[in-house]
Each structure stands twice: as structure tokens, then as C-alpha cells.
Structure 1
């Protein structure tokens, strides 16, 4: 007769595994002998090896018991089903690996691929990692609310980066974050933003954005996120108001006289 340690050694498993198989009901637990020890026989070794073989093949422990007593036909059907489940799991793991690799390669966490492409172009234009991270977080919010509009938004944002004035705008914003609030630079940013906004309004782009971003509460949330990110945003909104514009995610043309300072 064998001790639990000998049983485990002969079957090529650990003592802990033997005890676990006892707990889940796969391996019958023998009564203790007069000396208080549990002893095992050759049949237990055979059964344990069969359990180990099925488990190592990827059969879930919950299904091992039914396969131990299965007919050849039942075993074939079960193996085919388990193989399909394992193939699906492999595909899922491969997809996870692709996503992990993509995360390591850029700003793809929680943003659609179109946003990641735009962020790559923004970084290539000279924007700092801090600026790119701020843009990324803002687009995480936008994509959560308007996922179907992201391709259109990103096409427009990517096209804007072909304009040297937009690149200059981001660089000025970077300088404001790095060097602190500077009225001269803030006014240059406001002038650029007003100029670009006016051109967008002349093309009718702002009207389209107004229709697309109809959720005023969520637009306010995005604006508050930007304002909380850095105090310069609030100051820029004041300067934009002097130039007849208000908003942030959704810019609107207004009469400066109707806006409180």
C-alpha cells in the first residue's frame, strides 16, 4: 500500500494536487488505517494518472469526472467540443496579445484606432507627451458618448494638423503649460483659436458640430474636464469671449457684449 507522497510521486503530481482532487471529488479519499494514515493502491495510481492526463490536455476539472467513465463515442464528442472551446480561448488570448502589443506601441488604451492614429500624428507634429495625454483623455470621453462620430471627428482633426497654424497652436499651449501663464502667449493662442474658429464657421463646420453634439450636459462635462486640467483653459475662455466666442468642445459665435467677463 502507498502513502499519499508515494502515490503523488508515481502519478507524477504533487501531494497538494492529490488533496485537491480529493476535495473536488475526482479521486476517492480512502479511510484512514489503524495508524491514522490514508493508504492507496495501484488502482488509485491508475486513476490519478488518467485524471492528470485529462487535466494536462486542457480538460476542465469540472468535466474530467464525466470523461473518466465515458464510452469511446462520448469521449470523442466531448474531446471535439473541448477542442473547440480551447481554440476559441487561444483566439481570445491572441487577440489580447495583439492589444497588449498595441498598448506598448502608443496611446491606444480606451480609445478607438482612429483616435490613436490622430494622436500619433499629433505627437509627430512636435506636441509633448503631456499634450498628447490630455488630448487622449478628452477623446476617451468623446468616444464614450459619440462612438459613431469618431471617424468623422478624427478625419477633421487629422486634416487640421496639416495647417501650420494648428501645429503652432499646440506648441504655444505646450509652452504655456511648461513655462506658466503668460498673457502675451495666451493672447496669441486666443487669436489663433478665434481665427481658426471663424474659418470653420465660414465653412459651416461649426453648425455641423452643433447638430452632432446635441447633448448639452455631456458637452458641459467635457468642457469642465478641460477647465480642470489646467487654469489656462479658463483664462483662454475669457479671452475668447472678448473675441466673440464661447465654449470649448463646441465653439459658438456670440456677441461679446452679451457675455459677462
Structure 2
């Protein structure tokens, strides 16, 4: 028979923890001996080890108390469910660890190979490195925040840039970055973009400017913050599309 301090050392918990288990009804509290000490046996140590294992698995103490009083079949089923939960947690932790390691390596988020190949084509088409960097950051943002919709959005832009005439509008948009906000060339570019948009969608299928989705606002807000000229260009396009 051993004291509470010895039991705590053997099992690897504190005496305070054992007393909490007594108070919660998880571990029976033995009677005191003639010297006034509570003495614990091997069965107490085994029970304490089981309780500690469940607690370390994240099982609430109230649930542990119920499990300790459950029939063996119910107890085993509960252990299987706890094990499945731990497996899922481990999988999520490993995914988080992978993201942390990519972050440490300077990779905020891995992009699909289609997007990476698309970004590599941009300089060859005449886009500035500023535009390529902005596009990369935007796609990282979209894929991280809206993974279910990101590939559809990317496919749409990839299709647009595959057309040389429409690609030229994006090139002009890129090179308008350094223009003054009141430069008349912005009015002409906005007119051409609106005409191309109307030609693509038709008068009855123009894209909604305010769809309720966070993605367009998220992307356009990031673009507008880069340049006063881009911000005015966005205003001109929105105004003309509403006419």
C-alpha cells in the first residue's frame, strides 16, 4: 500500500489532480489507516492510469466518470470513438504543421499547378512583375478563403486571357498603374472594358456588380489599394456598366 504522494509520482500526476478525481467521483477515495494516511493499492494505480489516459485524450472529466461506470461493451465503443477523434485531430495537426513549414519557407499557400503555369505565362505576354506578384497574392488569397469556388473563378480568368483581344485589355489595365487618376486614357480604357464585357455577356447577362459574394469585393479592393488610377478605373467601369 502506498501514500497519495507515492501514487502521484508512480503514475505521473500531481496529488492535487488525484484529489480532484476524488471530488469528481472518478477515483474512489480509500479510508485512512491508523496513522491517518490514505493508502492506495495496485488497483487504484491502474484506475488512475486509465483516467489519466482518457483525460490526456481530451475527454471531459464528466464523460470519464460516465465511461468508468459504463458496461464493458459501451466502454469499448466509446474508446473506439475517442480513438477516431484523435486520428482526425492528428491529421489536422499534421496539415497545420505542413502549413507552418511552408510558411517558414516563404510559401503562404501552395497553388494548383494550373495556376502556377498561368502565372509563369504572364511575363511572356508583357505583364509587369508587379502585376504577376499581385495576381499570385490574389490567387493565394482566393484559394485560401474560398477553396470550393476558386478553380471556377480561375478557369474564367484563364479563358479570358487566352483571347489576345481581351488579354490586351488586362495589359492596358496593368500599365495604367502609374497614370494620374484624372488621365483621359483611363476613360478610354474603361469604355473598352465595358464594351468587351457587354459583348461577352450580352445585354441581359451582365455580371452583377454586387453579388453578395465576398470574393469580388476582396479581389477588387486589393487591386484598388495598389493605385489611384486603378481605383478610378474601377469606378468608371462600374458607372458605365450601370447605364
What is the TM-score with the length of structure 1 in the denominator? 0.56
Aligned: 1:199 with 2:202: no
Tell me the distance in 2 between the aligned counterparts of 1:77 and 1:192.
67
In structure 2, stretches of 5+ residues that fail to align are: 123-128
- 1:94-150 deviations in Å (ceiling 9; x for gaps): 666677788874568xxxx89x9659845862325456556877x69xx7xxx87x6
Q: Structure 1 15/165 Cα, relative in aligned 2: closer, same or farther at 3 Å?
A: farther
Tell me the distance in 2 between the aligned counterparts of 1:102 and 1:207.
45
Structure number with greater CO (CA < 8 Å, separation at least 6) is: 2
User: Is the contact between residue 122 and residue 161 of structure 1 (CA under 8 Å) also seen in structure 2?
Assistant: no
Question: Which residue of structure 2 aligns with residue 45 of structure 1?
Answer: 45
Secondary structure in structure 2 of the residue aligned to 1:10: helix
Question: Which residue of structure 1 aligns with residue 233 of structure 2?
Answer: 236
Give the CA deviation at 1:8.
0.6
Question: Which residue of structure 1 aligns with residue 11 of structure 2?
Answer: 11
Question: Which residue of structure 2 aligns with residue 76 of structure 1?
Answer: 76
Give the CA deviation at 1:247.
0.7
Tell me the distance in 2 between the aligned counterparts of 1:67 and 1:131.
54
User: Is the contact between residue 8 and residue 14 of structure 1 (CA under 8 Å) also seen in structure 2?
Assistant: yes
In structure 1, stretches of 5+ residues that fail to align are: 241-245, 255-261
Give the CA deviation at 1:171.
3.2
Give the CA deviation at 1:6.
1.6
User: Is the contact between residue 33 and residue 39 of structure 2 (CA under 8 Å) also seen in structure 1?
Assistant: no
**1:142-181 alignment runs, 5 A limit:** 153-162=153-162, 163=164, 164-173=167-176, 175-176=177-178, 181=179
User: Is the contact between residue 3 and residue 40 of structure 1 (CA under 8 Å) also seen in structure 2?
Assistant: yes
Matched positions, count: 226
Tell me the distance in 2 between the aligned counterparts of 1:26 and 1:83.
21
Between 4-13 and 80-89, the greater mean CA deviation after superposition? 80-89
Give the CA deviation at 1:63.
3.4
What is the TM-score with the length of structure 2 in the denominator? 0.59
Question: Which residue of structure 1 aligns with residue 26 of structure 2?
Answer: 26
Aligned: 1:182 with 2:180: yes
Secondary structure in structure 2 of the residue aligned to 1:247: helix
